[in-house]
Chain A
Amino acid sequence: MSVHRVYIVDAASRQSIEAELHDELGIDVLLDIEDQWINARVAMQQQLRNASVPVNQWPQSLHWDWSRKSIQLSLGGDPDDCRIFGIRRLTVWEGAMLTQRKNRMAKLPPDAGKGLVYVDYLEVAPWNWTVECIGQMRKNKAVGSMLLRAVVEQSYAEGHEGRVGLHALPQAEEFYREQGLAFVLQDANKRMPYYELTAVQASSLRKG
Chain B
Amino acid sequence: MSDKRTMTLNLTEREMDVLEALAVKKDLSKTAIIRQALRLYQLVSDRVDEGAKLVLEDEKANKKSELMML
**Interfacial residues, chain A to chain B (CB-CB below 8 A):** 26-28, 31, 35-36, 39, 67-68, 70-71, 74, 79, 91-92
- A36-B1, A36-B2, A92-B1 known; A31+B27 contact, CB < 8 A: no
Interface size for B (C-beta < 8 A) is 13
Chain A proximity of B3: nearest CB distance (Å): 9
Interface of B: prevailing SS: helix
Residues of chain A within 8 A (CB-CB) of B28 are 26-28, 74
B interface residue numbers (CB < 8 A to A): 1-2, 26-29, 31-32, 35-36, 39-40, 43
B2 touching A35, Cβ below 8 Å: yes
Q: Is the CB of B35 within 8 A of A31?
A: yes
B40 near A31: Cβ-Cβ < 8 Å: no
Q: With the chains together, A67 CA to B36 CA distance in Å? A: 8
Residues B32 and A28 in contact, CB atoms below 8 Å apart: yes
Besides A28-B29, A74-B28, A91-B1, 9 other CB < 8 A contacts? A28-B31, A28-B36, A31-B35, A31-B36, A31-B39, A70-B36, A70-B39, A74-B26, A74-B36
Q: Is the CB of A67 within 8 A of B39?
A: yes
With A28-B28, A36-B1, A74-B28 in contact, do A68 and B35 touch (Cβ < 8 Å)?
no
Q: A28-B35, A31-B32, A36-B2 are in contact. Are A71 and B40 (CB under 8 A)?
A: yes
**Nearest-CB residue, chain A, relative to B36:** A71
Task: Determine the residue in chain A with the shortest Cβ distance to B22.
Answer: A74
Q: Are B27 and A79 in contact (CB under 8 A)?
A: yes
Could you tell me the distance in whole angstroms from the C-beta of B7 to the nearest C-beta in chain A?
16
Residues in B with CB closer than 8 Å to A92 are 1
Instruction: Give CA–CA (A63, B10) in the complex, Å.
Output: 35
Interfacial chain A residues near B35, Cβ < 8 Å: 28, 31
A91–B4 Cα distance when bound, in Å, is 13
* CB neighbours of B1 from chain A (8 A): 36, 39, 91-92
23 A-B interface contacts by CB (under 8 A): A27-B28, A27-B32, A28-B28, A28-B29, A28-B31, A28-B32, A28-B36, A31-B39, A35-B2, A39-B1, A39-B2, A67-B36, A67-B39, A68-B39, A68-B43, A70-B36, A71-B36, A71-B39, A71-B43, A74-B26, A74-B28, A74-B36, A91-B1
B1, B27, B36, B39: which has the most chain A beta carbons within 10 Å?
Answer: B36
